[in-house]
Chain A
Amino acid sequence: MTNDVIRLLGKKNLFIQGDDAVVYGALIADCRFFAGYPITPATEVAEGMALWMPRLGGVYVQMEDEIASIAAVIGASCTGVKSMTATSGPGFSLMQECIGYSCMAEIPCVIVNVQRGGPSTGQPTEAAQGDVMQAMWGTHGDHQIIALAPKSVQETLDLTIEAFNLSEDYRVPVILLLDAEIGHMREKVVLPEIINVKVDDRVPATIGPDKYRPYRTGFTRTSKVPEFAPFGSGYRTYVTGLTHDKRGFPVTTSAEVHEELVRRLVEKVQDDMDIIWYHEDSFLEDAEIIVVSYGTTARPAVSAVKMARKNGIKVGHIRLITIWPFHYEKMKEVLKNAHTVIVPEMNLGQMVHPIREAVGKNTKVISAPKIGGAIHTPYDILKFIEGDKN
């Protein structure tokens, strides 16, 4: 199917915006269901999916709101179809309850949040990174989602495919955190060589319907992820948001059952941190100051680091690609030689908190916030680097 999609897309080199790259990535990853409600700056994702789903035998549904959208996505995924929705802050807030449901019932799905200025309806056409903490902790209860933050249009396409793969591998909601800047930024995109595209599917049931239990574990590569039998396959499945046993049936007052389930939901992802975590670094060799950025902000951050290097400042750069789950040990390791860490973000300081926790008290961690819509200029970040070279 992937080959057909790449052929259908025609040209290999495209000049497209981030929202379109999400669509192409989803098509290549075999996404065949989209439910959503249009919202600036994510509407182009819905437009693209509305165009492509019918052509590929998939389904596009424009729902009445974002609560219904995520519910429909989870329902479609229960039948075994890879499913996605796309929204921005106000819609993402509405989706939180069902994101928790997806965590609890272990139904894979991809949620694209093209972040705009908030809170509330805020700045519809302006970029922000204000939903970083919400992506991790927006839904209630202990849980672990995965969130990825691309810095370019090409990477948006690549990480959309990766988002589906991770969602299928771990049976968790994966949140792709774009922002209005990258959603509407156009750049050259090269479609991947067919042979290089890795597309993962959730592990199907490995035993017959008579012995199958929806939440038994120990039979997949990541042994804490259960096998998946889709609705309508003849297997007996039971899905609930209540705490449940291996049969999927509610068991709501047993501390043992609850602890075993919720610990597994968290550990199935965190045990594989080394596989899920991606970051990129540059100029680290002798760096005494390190700028840590993610998403669009990584671009002015790299420019600023290059400028500072020209001025002889020993500064390096780390770009987070996976932002949740946060790899505390790895970040502690890569930041250990820095006396100062600078964290530019298009919010008043969110990712700076886990970074501060990772490095401990002996390293100074400085937040370099910017809100209002404009991305940081290289000078905005350079100012912090120069202010701290001594």
Chain B
Amino acid sequence: MKAGIRISGFGGQGIILSGVIVGKAAVLDGFNAVQTQSYGPEARGGSTRSEVVVSDEEIDYPKVESASVSIIMSQEAFFKYASRTKREGIIIYDPELIPDNKIEGNFKLAEVNATRIASELGTKIVANIVMLGAFNEICNLISHDAMIESIKDSIPKMLDLNLNAFEAGKKNVRIINKSL
């Protein structure tokens, strides 16, 4: 088994933390995992991405080329990375952040209104965790327990809010069958 997960958006959304949580969870499940990141020098804003390679073998090349799963949180990132998903790979996105979400190709699309759900829970900064809930629901890759354990280990504050966000993501994700 080898899977590449690419999480993309802009600085401040918790894109890199999301990658860390996924990578750590994969290790808890007994896989090898490598998490890498790319961002500009700005503290907020600027395009950001985090990549996680999960494998049951040793991982040589640490980067993701065609992603098995793309988790996308900005319009710019959608234009750039949605098509860099494998055939029959999964693209999870927030449709309110990405109104222009038409894409050609053989992908499985899943929507979750992460930013709105997060705002309703109290703060939109947990939108990334809502996305991870959706990811865990849709992709049979990492166990629920490992994801929860990893969130607890990675987020020292406002744990309940984050766990609620994770569950809300699982509950509210919708698979869209848009074949173009």
A15-B33 contact, Cβ under 8 Å, with A186-B20, A375-B63: yes
Contact with A along B17-37 (1 / 0, CB 8 A): 000100110010000111111
Cβ 8 A contact of B63, one of A125, A184, A188, A377: A377
The interface residues of chain A lying within 8 Å CB-to-CB of B32 are: 187-188
Interface residues of B (CB under 8 A from A): 20, 23-24, 27, 32-41, 60-63, 65
* Assembly CA distance A149 to B23 (angstroms): 24
Q: Which residue of A lies closest to B36 (CB)?
A: A185
Q: Are A299 and B60 in contact (CB under 8 A)?
A: yes
Give chain A nearest CB distance to B41 CB in angstroms: 5
A302 touches B60 (CB 8 A): yes
Q: Are B40 and A181 in contact (CB under 8 A)?
A: no
Bound-state CA distance A13–B150 (Å) is 13
- Name the prevailing secondary structure of the B interface residues: mixed
Q: What is the bound-complex CA distance between A378 and B62, given in angstroms?
A: 10
> Can you name 20 A-B residue pairings with CB atoms under 8 Å?
A15-B23, A15-B27, A124-B41, A181-B36, A181-B62, A184-B37, A186-B33, A186-B34, A186-B35, A187-B32, A187-B33, A187-B34, A300-B60, A300-B61, A303-B61, A373-B38, A377-B61, A377-B63, A377-B65, A378-B60
A370 on interface, CB distance cutoff 8 Å: no
Chain B residues with CB under 8 Å of A363's CB are none
The smallest beta-carbon distance between B148 and chain A, in angstroms, is 15
State in angstroms the CA–CA spacing of A138 and B43 once bound together: 32
Q: Which residues of A contact B24 (CB under 8 A)?
A: 15, 186
- Determine the distance from Cα of A124 to Cα of B41 in the docked complex, in whole angstroms: 7
**With the chains together, A188 CA to B65 CA distance in Å?**
21
CA distance A184 to B35 in the complex (A): 9
Cβ-neighbour of A125 out of B20, B39, B62 (below 8 A): B39
Q: Per-residue CB proximity of A98-110 to B under 8 Å, as 1/0?
A: 0000000000000
- Answer whether residue A2 sits at the interface, using C-beta atoms and an 8 A cutoff: no
Q: By the criterion CB–CB under 8 Å, are B27 and A184 in contact?
A: no
Q: Which of B27, B34, B40, B41 contacts A185 (CB 8 A)?
A: B34
Query: In the assembly, what is the distance between CA of A300 and CA of B64, in Å?
Result: 12
Known: A185-B36, A186-B24, A377-B63. 19 other contacts (CB 8 A): A13-B27, A15-B20, A15-B24, A125-B38, A184-B37, A185-B35, A186-B20, A186-B33, A186-B35, A187-B32, A187-B34, A296-B62, A299-B60, A302-B60, A303-B60, A373-B38, A375-B63, A378-B60, A378-B61
